[in-house]
Chain A
């Protein structure tokens, strides 16, 4: 920046280069299907964008002290292994899971370690509950320090790499699980019928045995085929459920002055709803809640795809209306049969106490202040309905004591049976609103419990026909 606060030609060129890199890297990472390619590609781009002499990226599983996988450039693999050996002594320390930039922390133990290995920064990655890792950055060819823009770009890249790694690790695990399952099935199919036949039939009657064995074999074959099909479907549903559970935020994020509670209960094992919290800096986060048309496995797959795409777009600095416009085209182009999603996306800034949001055909989220409700309806139509659509956004000023409720129509439609489709049976918007007004003094978690318990009471423990997803936020 110059003295007038304008971007200089260099700063502008650098920023454009950074945005272009982020966009291209996101696109590339989305095409990769194994951990090692994600590590290689991320590192290559990081080295190029900052002009580094060397770099290293690694991921660890659980408490293991050796990395599960790593990639390095500008250094020998044996040098990288020395780094891991010396890093071992620091793995238990909390600072190994924190960002360390040499220029800002010259005397810390991590900084000393970085210096010994000619690195200039350490950026930890938290892929999922089990898997973590980090990126060690070599010194810049320019010999310049890392600027605020550099660090912002780095943390955005890290978030994207974490998301992609998390998906890829899951896909790899699912793939392994399917291979194992196929092996077990083939062994069972080959040996089990004969074994069981020999046990259940009288071996002294050979004629009967031959005739019976053929019919018993046929019966077993049919039974096994049926069981296998059922097992396969249960397995697929279970795996899809696992994928979704991994993708849902484990616990609500911490944002100073704001309590957050969330829950999602699927109607058929897997969920066509999703919610997500996307960190955007120390005081800001993205909040998304979407409901995909249809139910079961196909809706769940689209939900997973939309959730990943949202994270990618949000991490790329797009304004909210542009993010929704991109997601709209994305869903339209990537679903063969007409599918769409209602979606609420907002960015909550705890420092400015504002919520900037856009509502894509989703049931209106609402703000409850002093017993009065403000509906958050600004936005546009459902995503995926038309190839191109533009969206509006609105900014809501927040105050202490405000309660913000975002929900899927599974909440308000609870109680309706698809067979009778009588909307009089529904829990309904009014009940939801009055529950929130009556309990607005409660904490976010208690308010969420109050709503859930009213819904359960209304449906009297009957069968749940739609996914029920709720996010409640309270401003302290």
Chain B
């Protein structure tokens, strides 16, 4: 069953975290774009896209992540991802996303990478 997506943004220690709760599909695009805008307004060099561990991400959702990663690259921000299942790590790797973003185990790892 599809879980509605909600998005929250918060600022931490040199990292702006975009928390994604639920499934990432086309319908979440506006919320993710708005969250990225908000996160870009913070003074952080790093952006963390944090999934809740159960999120299902379809191909449209991956396109949204690609958009965010490219936008981060263009504004010289490093984008990290956490909270994705092993399956979606594999998918991110297959579509080449892992070349442009780092998947971390926890938020704490962001500063260390």
Question: What is A's interface to B at a CB cutoff of 8 Å?
Answer: 10, 13-14, 17, 20-21, 24-25, 28, 41, 44-53, 73-74, 140-144
Q: Are B97 and A51 in contact (CB under 8 A)?
A: yes
Nearest chain A CB to B83's CB is how many angstroms away?
19
B94 interface neighbour in A13, A20, A28, A52, Cβ under 8 Å: A13
8 contacting pairs across A/B (C-beta < 8 A) = A20-B58, A21-B58, A45-B58, A47-B63, A51-B66, A53-B66, A142-B96, A144-B96
Interface size on B, residues (CB 8 A): 21
**Residue B99 at the chain A interface, CB threshold 8 Å:** yes
Contact A48 B58 (CB under 8 A): yes
A141 partner, pick from B26, B58, B87, B100, beta carbons under 8 A: B100
Please encode chain B, from 66 to 107, with 1 for each CB lying within 8 Å of some chain A CB and 0 for all others. 110010000000000000000100110011110110000000
**Contacts A17-B59, A46-B59 supplied; 7 other A-B pairs, CB < 8 Å:** A41-B26, A48-B62, A51-B96, A140-B96, A141-B95, A142-B96, A143-B99
On whether the beta carbons of B96 and A45 are closer than 8 Å, the reply is no
Interface on chain B toward A: helix, strand, loop, or mixed SS?
helix
Alpha-carbon separation in the docked complex, A47 to B90 (Å):
17
Chain B residues 38 to 65 lying within 8 A of chain A, measured CB to CB, are 58-64
Q: Are A44 and B96 in contact (CB under 8 A)?
A: no
Contact B94 A14 (CB under 8 A): yes
CA A46 to CA B59, docked complex, whole Å: 7
Q: Which residues from B are CB-within-8-Å of A25?
A: 59
User: In whole angstroms, what is the CA distance A67 to B31 when docked?
Assistant: 30
Chain B's closest residue to A42 (CB) is: B60
Could you tell me the distance between the alpha carbons of A140 and B97 in the complex, rounded to whole angstroms?
A: 10
- CA–CA, A52 to B96, complex, Å? 9
B63→A141 contact, CB < 8 A? no
A-B pairs with lowest CB-CB distance, top 8:
A51-B95, A142-B96, A141-B96, A48-B59, A48-B63, A48-B62, A49-B59, A47-B63
User: How far, in angstroms, from A144 to B61 measured CA to CA in the complex?
Assistant: 21
Contacts of A44 in B (CB 8 A): 26, 29, 59-60, 63-64
A52 to B58, CA, bound (A): 15
A50–B70 alpha-carbon span in the complex (Å) = 15
- Let me know if A28 and B26 touch, CB within 8 A: yes
Q: A145 to B66, alpha carbons, bound, how many Å?
A: 18
Complex partner residue of A48 from B60, B70, B90, B99, CB under 8 angstroms:
B60
Which of A49, A73, A143 is B62 in contact with, Cβ under 8 Å?
Answer: A49
Chain B residue contacts of A10, Cβ below 8 A: 90, 94
Contacting residue for B61 out of A48, A51, A73, A74, CB 8 A: A48
In the complex the two chains form, is A50's CB within 8 Å of B95's CB?
yes
Q: Which residues of B contact A28 (CB under 8 A)?
A: 26
Closest to A13 in B: B90
Contact B60 A141 (CB under 8 A): no
Q: Are B70 and A51 in contact (CB under 8 A)?
A: no
Residue numbers in A under 8 Å from B61 (CB-CB): 48
How far is B98's CA from A10's CA once the two chains are assembled, in angstroms?
A: 15
Tell me the nearest residue of chain A to B95, going by C-beta: A51
A75 to chain B, nearest CB (A): 11
Cα of A51 to Cα of B67 in the assembled complex, Å: 10
Measured in the bound complex, the distance between the Cα atoms of B29 and A141 in whole Å is 20
Given the interface pairs A51-B66, A141-B100, the reply to whether A41 lies near B60 with Cβ below 8 Å is: yes
Which of chain B's residues have a CB closer than 8 A to the CB of A14? 94
A259 to B48, CA, bound (A): 60
- Pick from B59, B67, B94: contact of A73, CB under 8 Å: B67
Please tell me which one of the listed residues A41, A141, A144 contacts residue B66 in the complex, with CB atoms under 8 A apart: A141
**Interface contact A74-B59, CB-CB below 8 Å:** no
- Closest residue of B by beta carbon distance from A20: B58
Q: Contacts of B95 on A, CB cut-off 8 Å? A: 48-51, 140-142
Q: Is the CB–CB distance between A24 and B94 below 8 Å?
A: no
Give Cα distance in the complex from A46 to B67, angstroms. 13
**Chain A residue contacts of B97, Cβ below 8 A:** 51, 141
Contact of A21 among B29, B59, B64, B70 (CB under 8 A): B59
Q: Distance in Å from the Cβ of A460 to the closest Cβ of chain B?
A: 59
The residues of A that contact B96 with a CB separation of less than 8 Å are: 51, 140-144
Complex interface: chain A residues within 8 A of B63 (CB): 44-45, 47-48, 73
Whole-angstrom CA separation of A45 from B63 in the bound complex: 7
- For the complex, give the distance between the alpha carbons of A28 and B87 in Å: 23
Given A17-B94, A142-B96, A74 and B67 contact (CB-CB distance below 8 Å): yes
